[in-house]
Structure 1
């Protein structure tokens, strides 16, 4: 067989597997039947193949003689429709529900109440050797400051049986304002042996507003992936470490843990509120995936007769050894159930390819070809009077002389047009290579756009949304209706080529909610164009001082902008493989979306700090209103230079006075001196009148002063700045809660623990 034929066969196999897996995942045997053009059998003759809406394929079964040992299913007809459950195998496969009360200041556990229930079966995929079951959600719910109720779901699978919990297809998920979910496995009857114990932590520190729907990032929801080398899981439970006592239990009383199918659970913030909000919504349980195999025996060596009781009884099937036993599969171009006689049936590719575009790609036979099915495959031949490879679309016919003359004339015209076009194409290619296209095309997370595509996206560059020394910024709309900002970059010569490529690679790798995301670039132009996500409210400078000015900006909104901006810069400084400095931190380079979420932007002066090398540079040019005095004196830009610029941004945010540069640096100096004299409030935005809000601004002002220290070594780093601002945000939330019950209880202006610790460390 030629390499081309092998490659085509391999591609066919991959696409067929994806379609078969989709059919198994959805549990629709009708989809499987459509693939073969008929409904194949799924169980032995005379055996029931359904329990309610659940298909029961052999080796699973419900009646005597209809299942292999360990695969018995019980159909409970008390439900409407009936539901399928795994047989308990003599009390070795079941779920144990345990309720336990916790009382007192130390939450001492009381005597647990245990009850057993059968394991409900959702569906079976013979092709993937998987079964999905419902597992209950474990929970611990506070009913007061000194009382909690724990509910735990232990899943027991027969140790000698065919089932193992899949470490690849399942994850541990914890949900709660303060929860450390833990998966315990391989416990004994005393439930004390803990051989395998992954865990994850979710802690909002009392700030429920920080949650985001759909994200399991440790803020309201966390996830722990089970490594593939996990032990053979036959018994497991999702539990909790002792974190029951926490403030705010009235609004978020419950924490949850579950072992669940990967990507099945989609976090929703309402799950945090109310008593048993999540476990009530998922009362039936959540899906978990079990791997199954024939546990007794191994695949027979090639050329040897299968042993007695061998499970792969269908012709056109194969055997694969697993960790504990073996599984059966249908051969290529066959599908069905390899565990029953004649269960693997031939696929009629010619009928199948008429059903969808995807199947036509899987089984190609172009318009000039004639498709004919055969056992174990299909043939595609050219129509009469034509020759070539129809399966590749290469059928050709003999042309008469007049046709050849016409073709010759047409070819001449085409060649003439191509010669005109080739000059333009060579020009585009030169720009593409000059701007680093051969390197950037292999970079993940970034799309290379053609010049024609950008012209369509921008509606012929009609809408300008910004302009500066670099050029213009245009509004664009992608095919999915997402708005984007398209910015003309600097012209790249051969000396700047590597630097430009490095900067694009750095930006494409930065994925953070507070950093403007680089989506793609166009390199077929003299000055490359960069495609960024769009920020609806423009820059912070616009909102504070410009055409998009908003008269009243609440203090909690300003704190959110400060915290998010600090998070973005801290991520740049420490959350990637090589540390980065921005080089031009200012309010004009902090964009705001429609919800005032800040996004750090404009990386035209960003530089990669290669560890172990000099940090000096002569090419960074920043805004004099925000630039570090050390850079002005020594030409050195460090991450502490970003901290200085961010300190000026904080001043603008709380004073609403635009930064102005002069030789004495009076803008910064006057504020710092006023802050040291406890007179900083004289500079604050006059629209802020609440004493509590003014106290919060004073705390932000203290952080700004720490950022503006003349000696860079005495400044906070961005992570410390972020933590200080988060602490202030927490005090803001606490202040808002307390004032709603007790009036205006102003926070203490010096109550910033991290700032106090830093000062004490300097004094020592």
Structure 2
């Protein structure tokens, strides 16, 4: 007997090892049992996306005016009363009635055709209640009463004016019942009052398919039915054979799935289905991995009969997975030989089991480690790791040595497993979380939405672009992690949000003064000038907007989000791509030609500059239809000489009119419909820096000569460093500064 027990435990240990190699747990949190109101929702049914096997098994948990929420089958809109993993569920089904006054049938028809559900013949009956009924259960494909279209029918007569039933005695007096056909999926009812006293009464007759057990237990009086619009009905359910791969417990050693062919009562529909059950000695959910758990038969004291029999011997119950054993033991202390034998067998078995458990545990660890390594390799390849290595190893790319490859566990710990409370913001490329590394450094961790090959290039592109950039006004990339299901990027943490938030929300400690706005504009222009001209290879950002400009602890601007940015060769003038960008900031010329140039970034910056001047949003539904775009609204206002009417009140109060005019003219030139007539970012940056320099010069209006001198000196410096303006003059593509002074008071 001891050897038998040992063999059983050996088999169980091997089963644990096999599952460690081949099976995993469901990724759906709550797949084992969701709850809606008082109803438990087990898999394959579910509430959350991914927690049900397909849409037919999806449950909507709807709030009601009566208190607790109620579950409804999403596709059929039937309230679910309970679900059994043995292949049945109860729903509230609408009743049919016939009233003598209206002489009309109300016969709701909920079709189960093409669904995994049929009306249970074993659990349901067809019932007609009322005085003098003639009721039919008809095919929904023909509402007449011909014999070929009738599934079932019954007839009742009147006994008295007050209808009374004696428990389940629905025997044809004021109530009749009959069975329903097998595999019924769709029907209609036809109720007619033709017999006895019914013709002179005002009561209505009712008919429906109904749960037989519920009906016989609960309905004792006709008037109880009058208050009900729905009655419980039992549906059988099975799963379409095409979905067998989605059953998480189909490979479990403790469950069995059987396939069958089901035909409907219409005779022209059939399908292959299956359902799963737990093996003998196990119970639980056979549709989940580890869903079928061992039953402890020894918890029942009757499992091995009486505890003690004759001659001083008794039975001891030993539970093992799937079954149990009754071991005959001696109750006599004098039987030393038998007791010692049992002890030796027990110790030997224990030692053997210990070694098996140690071996199984070690095997499990080894297999788990190998699976994790393969899993990380799979994610690395899927997340563009090979493409990223190829890009970073290219001779054309100079990568900062500070870029680091982070461990997934460290980033999970840094973000408290990506807690929703750590979310800093969300965008088209992914979600950004606030995290703290092991060394105490605060960082921003971007969890990319990239999970398909079509968008891998954008993610890899952002890593490559940011790895080349080292500028104080560009968000610094600290590293990335590619061994997770979705890619992770680690940036320096920028604490004061976006420029959009700064302009649209009140900040009493650091208000959006004219000086702050001018400084931010100058810093962003300088960063773009660096990207266009000073980086190792020219970089077009392609998505400049106030939500992609962050503010650090000293409210210095940091350009962020390089997911759509592109590097180009030094001798390239434009980039032909599918149009991408944000409405309101998008260069009209780029929108028409699909050719993105450095002047397209200039246009987007012009919109940002107008936002700084006016405090308005790039797109606003409060403005007229023609001026919903801030760029159009701004240009129109300048042409109508209404510039100062749209300038932010704080700017009007703090800035000199001459400064406003200069910056407004600069913004207007950036928003020129023709890209060739827009200034370069180098010219824009120098112009804004010149405005800041003259702003610091005291008594500008009084000392006009000093202003002219400073302006002349800046133009000379401009002419020295900018060759674009001079070279373009002869070719007809001169910058806007050569035809119209940018700095004019």
TM over 0.5: no
Between Structure 1 and Structure 2, whose CA radius of gyration is higher? 2
Give me the TM-score of the superposition, normalised by structure 2: 0.44
The structure where helix makes up a greater share of residues is 2
Give me the TM-score of the superposition, normalised by structure 1: 0.43
